[in-house]
Amino acid sequence: MSDQTPPRTGSDKRKQSLYFPEIMLQEIKEEAARLDRSLSWVVQRAWKLARAEIRKIPSVNDVDDDTPE
């Protein structure tokens, strides 16, 4: 089984709850208002801009620990 998710086609409108610290949520709301866009649009756009950087972060399974084998 592949660990990569296949690209989605079309627009998936399923609801999903996400939880943000209050200050972060306020900042996202302010940017959404400034851009005259929805919160969802801002978060989706942020993900598209950040995902290449996020992929550079090693997974917990990739991190070398100092325990002997």
Per-residue pLDDT tens digits for 6-65: 566 667 778 889 999 999 999 999 999 999 999 999 999 999 999 999 999 999 988 666
d(CA 6, CA 3): 9
- What separation in angstroms does the CA of 48 have from each of 17, 22, 44, 52, 62? 19, 22, 6, 8, 24
Note the pTM of the prediction, 2 decimals: 0.67
Round to whole Å and give the CA distance between 44 and 26: 16
Task: Please report how the helices 39-55 and 22-35 are oriented relative to each other, as an axis angle in degrees rounded to 10.
Answer: 110
Looking at residues 1-7, what average pLDDT do you find?
55
Q: Which pLDDT score is estimated for 1?
A: 45
